[in-house]
Amino acid sequence: MADRNAPASFTFEQWRIEFNQLATDLGDIANLPSTVNGVAVTDALEAIKELQNGLSTVLLPNVIDFEDSTSASAYRIKMGISDDLQLYHDASNSIIKHDGTGNLNIDSTSGVNLQFGGSTKLTTDTNGIQVTGNVHATGNITADGNITLGDGDTDSVTFNADLTSNIVPNATNTYDLGASNKEWRNVYLSGALIDENNVQLTFPNSGGSVATEGFSVAMGIALG
C-alpha cells in the first residue's frame, strides 16, 4: 500500500482522488469482522490494533499450550531438518524423543538436576554425578577406579551373590579381617592358612578340630 499525502496546496479534486485511493487501499469496511481476537471492533484502526496484538501473542506468547499428541503429525515441538528432536505429551507420558544421528546431549556449565516430586535425586557437577536415594540396576555394573562403600561403620554391605574372584589387599601386612570387637564367627576353608613367613597350618581333611591357646597347639582328630 502506497503512502498517501494530501498537502494544503491540493485542489478539492486532488483531495477527492487521494481520499478515494485511500479508501481503495483500506478496502470495504463492511468486510471487517465484528470481533478480532475476541475484541469488538468498529473501525479499521481498531481492527489493525487487535490484529497487531494477536500477532504479538502468536509470535511471542507467554504460554504455548498444546493438546495431547496422538500422532507424529500433531501437537509436537519439532527441531531438526528431519524432525530429529521432538517434545510432546501423549496423554500418559511427557516425552523428549531423539530420533536422529548423534547423541542427545544435556549440557550445563552449572550442573543439571533431575527431580522427582520436587526433590532432587540426581545432580551433575564438575566431579561427575551425585545421587540422593536408592540406586537399582538390572544387569551388570562395571566401575573403573576406586570405590568407597559407606561413610561410617553404621552402614552395611550385603552380598546375596557368590564371589567369583580372589580377595587381595593392595598392601602386605596392613589390613585385618575382622576386629577385636567384631570377630568373624566360623571360617570354612579347603586348604591351609599360610603366614608371611610361609608357615602353613593345614587342617585335617577327615574330620577333627584344631585349637590354639598361647604358644601351644592342641589337636584332636576324630577318626572313623
Signed CA dihedral, 17, 23, 28, 29: sign only = negative
Distance between CA 51 and CA 45 in Å, rounded? 10
Does the pTM surpass 0.85? The reply is no
C-alpha cell at 192: 591351609
Whether the Cβ atoms of residue 36 and residue 50 lie closer than 8 Å to each other: yes
Question: How do the domains of the chain map onto residue ranges?
Answer: 12-59, 66-102, 109-133
113-122 confidence digits (pLDDT tens): 999 999 999 9
**Mean pLDDT over the full length of the chain:** 81
Average pLDDT of 103-120? 92
107 SS3 class: coil
Q: Where is mean pLDDT largest: 7-16, 22-31, 210-219?
A: 7-16
Calpha distance 52→58 (Å, rounded): 10
Give me the sign of the Cα torsion angle 133, 139, 144, 145.
positive
Amino acid at 32: L
